[in-house]
Amino acid sequence: MQRKTQGRTDLEVSTVCLGTMTFGEQNTEQDAHAQLDYALERGINFIDTAELYPVPPNAATQGSTERFIGSWLKARGGRDKLVLATKIAGPNGSQAWIRGSKHNHDAANLRAAVDASLQRLQTDYIDLYQLHWPSRNVPIFGANQFDPRKERNGVAIEETLRALADLVREGKIRHIGVSNESPWGVCEFVKQAEIHGLPRIATIQNLYNLTARAFETTLLDEVCYREDVSLLAYSPLAFGQLSAKYVDDPRARGRLTIYPPTWSPRYLRPAVFDATREYAALAREHGLTPAQMALAWCYSRWFMGSTIVGATTLAQLEENIDAAQIVLSDEVVKRIDEIHGRITNPGQ
């Protein structure tokens, strides 16, 4: 398993990162421990979670994912061999169970969130602490047009960085990152850090898969290259859509069928199904499974810091990790770009 250094830090993480947002909803604590054990056996040293998880979020299960990781860490040890990442939820008035309806990226909320995550994770420090989504108005989670009418009073980026700097000085977190961010946001975080001598973001955790390649077309790739910010790609299989299981069997069990359509409408768009059929046919034509091709594509991108994979079974996790050894031919890459040119970013 190859490793890459993130941003301007000393964090060396595996090409594949174990995503954990199913722990506590689709996966039991025993399942979670089995996945974590297997991931380490295969050379993964990078684990990503969030205070919000599992998903879909609700008050009854919130924090279970971190607790499952914490019980595993307590039982297995080896904390110093792992890079552990978690995230603070951004403002969302409907998730009042997370520190009340006014939770945000201010100093009080950041400290409370970090302390609670440390307790659930049963560790003294977090290697990479990320802002799950911005404090300000930004189109995310399937929205792709900026709307000034949705402006809100967000916490200033400088204020957030100063609060994070305190937590870094105290040793509670080592490095910081953002998630679901825009090119402007990345530039502003870097600028404020440099002006005021505050911690610099090392990573951006954003959506990236064959049906959602806006990272390339919004110039985020150039911004991150020039500012030394590494991409951590989430949803590389588009909630399982790119495995082709839903086009092969519309009743297949998974997130797109066991939860209401309102949970992930972007992956239910007709154009996503059209693109998936074409990508699946291409993969099978070249002796690959659709999931293998979709993941091998992500793993091979020049701007990729690490790709976050999630699974509900060990068989799925094995296939996901095995794909890191696959090198796509020039012909396959050319054909992928041709499909993308005709059906562009339907899952964005």
Positions marked catalytic? 53
d(CA 55, CA 62): 8
For residue 32 the two structure tokens come to 């979670």
* Amino acid at position 321, single letter: I
* Angle in degrees, 0-180, between the axes of helices 330-342 and 290-300, rounded to the nearest 10: 100
d(CA 336, CA 224): 24
Q: Which residue pairs from 267-272 have beta carbons closer than 8 angstroms and sit at least 24 positions apart in sequence?
A: 267/211, 267/238, 267/239, 267/241, 267/347, 269/346, 269/347, 271/343, 271/346, 272/211, 272/238, 272/241, 272/346, 272/347
Torsional sign, CA 9, 13, 16, 17: negative
d(CA 49, CA 24): 12
d(CA 269, CA 34): 34
From residue 327, alpha-carbon distances to 140, 202, 299 in Å are 32, 27, 9
Are the CB atoms for 72 and 36 separated by under 8 Å?
Answer: yes
Q: In sequence order, which ranges of the chain are alpha helices (DSSP H)?
A: 29-41, 64-76, 107-121, 157-169, 183-196, 214-217, 220-227, 245-248, 255-258, 270-285, 290-300, 314-322, 330-342
d(CA 99, CA 102): 7
Are the CB atoms for 230 and 220 separated by under 8 Å?
Answer: no
* Amino acid at position 294, single letter: A
